[in-house]
Amino acid sequence: MKNKEPLILVVVVAFTLLTYWLVEPYAHSVMHKHVESQNFAYADLKPLTKTGNAAAGKDLVMGAAACTGCHSIEKAGMPSAMDAVSAAASYGVNPPDLSNAGAIYDAKFLADVIVNPAHALKVEHKFDASKGKMHPMAPFAGAGGELEQEVADMVAYLQSIAVKPDQVTPKMAYENACGRCHSVSYEKWTQIGEKPAFKFEKDSLAFDIKVLEYQESLTKYMGKLPPDLSMYIRSRGEHFISTFIENPQAHLEGTAMPRVGVTADAAHKVIEYLEDAGDTKRHERASVGKMVLIFSVVFAIFALLWKKQVWKNLH
């Protein structure tokens, strides 16, 4: 009798794969908008034409541009003027410390955010100066010199004090670029910092109240409380998060979330942070998976040999 098993196997596998393709890759491509990554090139922003002078930039940042009126630069010995909760009450969100801004954020983005925050952050739909809605960050209009040169100087200064780009850690990138709006409870991260282990419940509750107060201001500022991102790596996936960070408007037109202007490297670090939070065991999964597959193949070979031995007398 002809052996029909290979044909049957082909039929079963073909129908299974067809069904899989229809309900997974195909259906999801129809359901979800596909946004292509631009590799964090920020092509809509003007490239820096001037070479910046860090020393001149320092004078501007600390002086005429008044950056330190709102931003701390702890590396340069400039502490924040107020705590996170009061800062959020004043500005809606706690302004970031600028110590490592030069390494985390794209230079073109930094230059643009200094002179036109709402444009660089892509929140002009929310903050329109002509309608009297000013972005809480005041634009820098120049300190008497050539504007482009002054901006280049300030960017150069921020880059000069920051860690080397390859020294940016996942935690550093996440906390600076995302962590002032998004908590990650699985990493104990709140919008005002990592929640310490308190000895007394009273202190723990006092901390929670501060977080709630911060969140109240943030909610008012953003329209709704930005979500906790603990499981986002599993619920949204790397591609979605990465392209969302790059340009939130491309996914969700009109969203209050600003474009944060991170470099491609810093975006990878943010993803890594989220993987550590929501897909903590991925390395273990890969290594255990390899061993289990090797075991399964060996098992299948022995099972095949046993079958052949048993069936030797049956044909």
Segment holding 117, helix H or strand E: helix 117-120
Q: State the minimum distance, in angstroms, from the CB of residue 236 to other proteins.
A: 7
Q: State the minimum distance, in angstroms, from the CB of residue 294 to other proteins.
A: 10
Told to check if 292 binds other proteins by CB under 8 A, we report yes
Told to check if 10 binds other proteins by CB under 8 A, we report no
Told to check if 4 binds other proteins by CB under 8 A, we report yes
| Separation of alpha carbons 106 and 315, rounded Å | 72
| 3-state class (DSSP) for residue 119 | helix
Residue closest to 126 by CA, chosen among 255, 249, 218: 255
Applying CB under 8 A, the span of 110-118, 162-170, 212-220, 301-309 interacting with other proteins comes to 301-309
Q: Contact at 8 Å (CB) between 217 and 89? A: yes
Segment holding 27, helix H or strand E: helix 27-31
| 3-state class (DSSP) for residue 155 | helix
Residue closest to 157 by CA, chosen among 97, 95, 107: 107
Told to check if 252 binds other proteins by CB under 8 A, we report no
What DSSP character marks residue 41?
-
| Separation of alpha carbons 255 and 125, rounded Å | 9
Told to check if 313 binds other proteins by CB under 8 A, we report yes
3-state secondary structure 263-300: CHHHHHHHHHHHHHHHCCCHHHHHHHHHHHHHHHHHHH
For other proteins, what does the binding mask look like between residues 256 and 285, x meaning CB under 8 A? ----------------------x-xx--xx
Q: Contact at 8 Å (CB) between 191 and 218? A: yes
Q: By C-beta, is 15 or 198 nearer to other proteins?
A: 15
| Separation of alpha carbons 108 and 263, rounded Å | 10
Applying CB under 8 A, the span of 35-43, 45-53, 62-70, 296-304 interacting with other proteins comes to 296-304
Q: Contact at 8 Å (CB) between 161 and 99? A: yes
- Choosing from 39, 167, 219, 296, the residue that interacts with other proteins (CB under 8 A) is 296
Applying CB under 8 A, the span of 115-123, 136-144, 151-159, 292-300 interacting with other proteins comes to 292-300
Told to check if 8 binds other proteins by CB under 8 A, we report yes
Task: Work out the burial of residue 175: count CB atoms within 10 Å of its CB; fewer than 13 is exposed, 13-18 middle, 19 or more buried.
Answer: buried
Q: By C-beta, is 30 or 141 nearer to other proteins?
A: 30
Q: Contact at 8 Å (CB) between 122 and 259? A: yes
Told to check if 30 binds other proteins by CB under 8 A, we report yes
Told to check if 286 binds other proteins by CB under 8 A, we report yes
Q: State the minimum distance, in angstroms, from the CB of residue 208 to other proteins.
A: 16
- Choosing from 27, 41, 129, 252, the residue that interacts with other proteins (CB under 8 A) is 27
Size of the site for other proteins (CB under 8 A): 52
- Choosing from 10, 17, 19, 129, the residue that interacts with other proteins (CB under 8 A) is 19
Q: By C-beta, is 209 or 300 nearer to other proteins?
A: 300
Chain residues binding other proteins by CB under 8 A are 1, 4-5, 8-9, 12, 15-16, 18-20, 22-24, 26-27, 30-31, 186, 230-232, 234-237, 278, 280-281, 284-286, 288-289, 292-293, 296-297, 299-304, 306-307, 309-311, 313-315
